Structure 1
Amino acid sequence: MEVTPKTRSSLRDLYRLHRAWTRKYSFNNLNALLNGAPGLCPGTISSALRRYGGGYCHELNTWFRAELEIAGFKCSPHLAIVLYGAGNATQRPSHLVSIVHVEDAEYLCDTGFGLGLLWPLRLERIGVSQSQHTLSFRIVGEEGGRILQLRVNGGWCDMYQFPEQTAYEEEIIAANVFSSMSPDSFVSSNLVATRYVGGRRKSLVNTRYQDPVCGGAVRLESAGQLSHCLAQNFGVNLTTKEALAAFRVAAKADRYPSPNEILQTST
């Protein structure tokens, strides 16, 4: 995506833009789940984000990177291997993130991971906990790439591993198709939505909705309940046809554990 930088922006601008983005949009894979591989051209992404109140990594982070470039930031795309919830399964690089160079330092920017960052994370602080509101993240160095970790229940859970090498456009296109269409991709056959609001992260995995304030997960028993949950908690308004299609996928895939269940077994 070619854009012309207009200004040189500061670290404060980067933090402000990143948090504004994660406040505005939820992470969800509804467009990919209902319509197939999302188009990554500017008009298509913009329309999809408005329609579904958010999107998944290739939509959110492609468009966010374009916004950063327009604002004058120097940034590069990178494809990460998702480690969270992967177990011993072999994974391929599929998650899109950005590394931004500002004020003589590098920052990881990611507005499109369900349990991810609220604002940028400084990359050179290897092994150091970096707080983001009620959350804590850190970067650890590993052969083949750095790993983003989230602190959970007193331990650290691996989120994803990302390389120093910049991803080429054709690699990003292939990763987008894999993420949205491959049977080996979690988001191709499961409904997922998350949003961080008021110091807590709301999550929906298939038919199970969880809000830390409410305690345990609530099971959604119908397309109508799913539609109401998405509208009330994630700002997504589905048509009746879309709600029925999403519920069929969610009900079929409901054998998978929720994010909290995965995290509890990972720490």
Structure 2
Amino acid sequence: MGPGVEGENALWSGEELDLDAYLARIGYVIERDGELAPDLRTLTALHRAHIRAVPFENVDVLLGRPVPLDLKSLQVKLVERRRGGYCYEQNSLFAAVLERIGFAVAGRGARNRSRGTALPPVTHALLVVTIDGEQWLADVGFGWQGPLEPVPLRDGARVEQSGWTFGIATEDEGIQVLRFLRPQGWTDLYAFSPQTIYPGDFAVMNHYSSSHPQSRFLGQVVAQRPGTQVRRALVRERLSTLRTDGQSEERIVPAAELIETLRAEFGIELDEEERAGLGRMHPVGA
């Protein structure tokens, strides 16, 4: 189903990917959705399908489990078990998919700007895909504020995606910024340099996010999903909803509703051990 990748060029282990299983996981049917090729149509279709099917979540981190990034582990968790994951997991898997099909794909490391004016470390991992000499930002792992489709990586670019608008700005030192248009104006999501990073760099960033005391993924459940009409985020006990018309709402999710909320709102199916563990850690009583 697409050219394989061999030798030193296979940075993301694309040759080990079970592509058929991945396509089934994201609901991509070649006869209906088109043959796979290293072109923009394929990249856009896969990006949208992945976003729709695979939720952003941190359950393993919250339960104190390791978060391996090798392709075999990612396929077991995100494909076979139909779970979600955070940026390193999702974008590592997506990079393997793109590499397997024949895309030129590279990693980038970004600073999250979506939480105010603080200067956080570089902890977000995204992808840049080059097609016919043009670079596209591809990111299936940023959560509820992330793009649904690739974004052209050029200064001043502005794209509308199912009612949501994203843009690219360039700052000093070649820093590129992904921006999100809200009713109150543009807001920065994250900023990154043009320097390529590699799977080993993803592993270092993953270690920080999964174990450092200051990581926001420790001690609270995080589940997010960007949608075409509605975007949802559960952080700790607070469930936030954002719509394309700018309307937003929040509600508190008590412990008795946590597991069903994760299933119904985010498509996260947990086993008995995981359900019990989250029930003990959720901060809001029944």
CA distance in structure 1 between the partners assigned to 2:233 and 2:163 by the alignment: 16
| One-letter amino acid matched to 1:135 | W
1:99 to 113, 116, 128: 128
Per-residue deviation, residues 161-191 of structure 1 (Å, max 9, x unmatched): 1111111333221101101111222122332
1:140 to 2:140 alignment: no
Equivalent positions of 1:21-40 (< 5 A) are 21-40=50-69
1:3 to 14, 17, 23: 14
Deviation at 1:2, TM superposition (A): 3.0
| Matched ranges for 1:191-230 at <5 A | 191-212=221-242, 216-222=249-255, 224-230=256-262
Residue 105 of structure 2 corresponds to 75
Structure 1: gaps of 5 or more residues: 253-267
CA distance in 2, matches of 1:86, 1:198: 25
1:54-73 equivalences under 5 Å are 54-73=84-103
- Aligned mates of 1:129, 1:112 — CA distance in 2: 20
Partner of 1:185: 215
CA distance in 2, matches of 1:215, 1:173: 35
Change (3 A) 1:170 1:196: closer
The Cα RMSD (Å) is 2.3
Provide the C-alpha distance between the structure 1 equivalents of 2:281 and 2:183, rounded to a whole number of angstroms.
31
How far apart are residue 210 of structure 1 and its match? Answer: 2.9
Q: Residue 236 of structure 1: CA displacement?
A: 1.2
Q: Is the 8 A contact 1:210 1:217 kept in 2?
A: yes
User: How many percent identity over aligned positions?
Assistant: 29
Displacement after TM superposition at 1:216 (Å): 2.9
The one of 239, 250, 264 equivalent to 1:232 is 264
TM-score (norm 1): 0.85
Q: 1:170 aligns with which of 173, 190, 200?
A: 200
Contact 2:90 2:140 in 1 (8 A): yes
Aligned pair count?
249
Match of 1:44 among 39, 64, 73: 73
Which residue of structure 2 aligns with residue 246 of structure 1?
A: 278
Q: Matches of 1:30 and 1:21 in 2, distance apart?
A: 19
The Cα shift of 1:212 comes to 4.3
Superposed CA offset, 1:213-237 (max 9, x none): 7963221221x31001011111112
Q: Is the 8 A contact 2:108 2:128 kept in 1?
A: yes
TM-superposition CA deviations, 1:109-142 (whole Å, max 9, x none): 0000011010100011x22321111211111111
Residues 85-164 of structure 1: matches in 2 within 5 Å?
A: 85-88=115-118, 90-114=119-143, 115-124=145-154, 126-144=155-173, 145-164=175-194
Unaligned runs of 5+ in 2: 1-11, 20-35
Q: Which moved more, 1:100-109 or 1:153-162?
A: 153-162
Change (3 A) 1:129 1:34: same
Name the residue aligned to 2:8.
none
